[in-house]
């Protein structure tokens, strides 16, 4: 009889605040639980979220309202394979460089493959977790909540890939990585790179022979409608049901993150709370977009409740098993 694995004590609720003027924010859950639990969690996990709760201000009018959208990396085989192919290439490049110099022991203790969700993530950075409540502040309080400072930060650097002979002999450039979107002057898209690395299926499929002249066809030619039937059989739906050259999540095709939940607040009074349910976040990355009423003075509050599990306290699955 085996003993059930112990679930380690870890923080299961993380709180964030977005100012009323900020339209888009990002959360890197593995970064934040590493700081709060004082353990190193690699980013490359599917992170199980039990619930996302948002608290938002009253709308200026019921018709204008305000809303919040929670999105993640797209949950597709494309993003799974793009992440793994990018990770393996990054890992191989670093391993070869260390082996060439005989410096395997020089590898950083917390070396890890870390990516951005999209280009906006690179530009605006991450929201900081905060501890919610009044604590040492004396009430009454003018708003719904009071926040204490964020936890002290450690090092959490996003990964670079190095391209030798980039565009010309002897030119070496470094790029950070986003899952979604096109390549830029200083970043590369993982889904875009994966798309460019693969062959495409044959389309149309099958390549049709000239069956109209077949003696077998003539065996059943009892009327004048076989040619039309054969045209329908051969040429309707003989192309791929998806774009052959452009993958979802790469440049030019369904490029944005996958929306997992949203809410629309029409209330013009008070502060309103919405429970958006559970979801899975590849790499633990979340994008939050808020459409807020103009002039709203109240910040958006986001509470992330993580699912407990046996992976050092959390329910995590490696991205390699996605």
Query: pLDDT tens for residues 121-153?
Result: 999 999 999 988 777 666 666 555 667 778 888
Q: Please tell me whether residue 262 adopts helix, strand or coil conformation.
A: strand
Cβ pair 73, 244 in contact under 8 A? no
Q: Residue 228: its pLDDT value, please?
A: 66
Distances (CA, A) of 144 to 64, 147, 192, 263: 22, 10, 43, 19
CA 30 from chain centre, in angstroms, equals: 13
Q: Residue 89: its pLDDT value, please?
A: 92
Q: Residue 142: its pLDDT value, please?
A: 57
Cβ pair 254, 79 in contact under 8 A? no
Q: What is the pTM of this model?
A: 0.87
Q: Residue 244: its pLDDT value, please?
A: 80
Strand partners, 17: 301
pLDDT in tens, the chain (322 residues): 677 777 889 999 999 998 877 889 999 999 999 999 999 999 999 999 999 999 987 777 777 778 899 999 999 999 999 999 999 999 999 998 888 877 777 788 899 999 999 999 999 999 999 988 777 666 666 555 667 778 888 899 999 999 988 888 889 999 999 999 999 999 999 999 999 888 777 776 666 655 555 555 554 555 656 666 667 677 777 777 888 888 888 888 888 899 999 998 888 887 889 999 999 999 999 999 988 655 555 788 999 999 999 999 999 999 999 8
Q: Residue 251: its pLDDT value, please?
A: 85
Q: Residue 141: its pLDDT value, please?
A: 61
Cβ pair 42, 30 in contact under 8 A? yes
Q: What is the DSSP letter of 20?
A: T
Q: Which two tokens stand for residue 270?
A: 């008070």
Query: How long is the chain?
Result: 322
Q: Which of 58, 10, 62 is nearest to 37 (CA)?
A: 10
- Supply φ then ψ for residue 273, to 5 degrees: -120, 140
Burial class (CB in 10 A: 0-12, 13-18, 19+), 194: buried
Q: Residue 285: its pLDDT value, please?
A: 98
Q: Which two tokens stand for residue 138?
A: 């004396």
Q: Which of 19, 26, 28 is nearest to 56 (CA)?
A: 19
- Supply φ then ψ for residue 15, to 5 degrees: -115, 145
């Amino acid at each position: 009889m085996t003993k059930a694995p112990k679930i380690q004590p870890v923080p299961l609720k993380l709180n964030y605040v977005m100012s009323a003027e900020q339209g888009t924010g990002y959360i890197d859950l593995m970064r934040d639980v590493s700081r709060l639990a004082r353990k190193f969690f690699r980013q490359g996990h599917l992170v199980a979220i039990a619930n996302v709760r948002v608290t938002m201000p009253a709308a200026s009018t019921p018709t204008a309202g305000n809303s919040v959208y929670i999105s993640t990396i797209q949950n597709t085989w494309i993003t799974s394979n793009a992440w793994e192919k990018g990770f393996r290439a990054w890992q191989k490049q670093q391993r070869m460089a260390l082996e060439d110099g005989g410096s395997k022991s020089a590898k950083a203790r917390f070396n890890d493959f870390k990516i951005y969700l999209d280009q906006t993530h690179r530009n605006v950075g991450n929201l900081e977790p905060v501890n919610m409540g009044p604590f040492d502040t004396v009430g009454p309080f003018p708003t719904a909540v009071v926040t204490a400072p964020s936890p002290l930060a450690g090092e959490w650097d996003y990964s670079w890939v190095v391209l030798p002979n980039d565009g010309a002999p002897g030119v070496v450039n470094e790029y950070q990585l986003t899952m979604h979107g096109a390549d830029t002057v200083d970043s590369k898209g993982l889904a875009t790179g994966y798309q460019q690395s693969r062959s495409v299926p044959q389309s149309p499929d099958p390549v049709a022979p000239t069956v109209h002249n077949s003696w077998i066809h003539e065996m059943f030619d009892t009327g004048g409608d076989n040619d039309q039937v054969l045209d329908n059989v051969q040429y309707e739906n003989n192309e791929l049901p998806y774009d052959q050259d452009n993958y979802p999540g790469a440049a030019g095709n369904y490029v944005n993150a996958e929306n997992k939940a949203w809410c629309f607040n029409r209330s013009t009074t008070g502060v309103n709370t919405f429970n958006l349910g559970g979801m899975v976040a590849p790499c633990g990355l979340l994008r939050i977009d808020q459409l807020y009423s103009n002039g709203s003075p109240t910040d958006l509050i986001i509470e992330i409740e993580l699912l407990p599990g046996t992976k050092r306290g959390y329910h995590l699955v490696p991205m390699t098993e996605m």
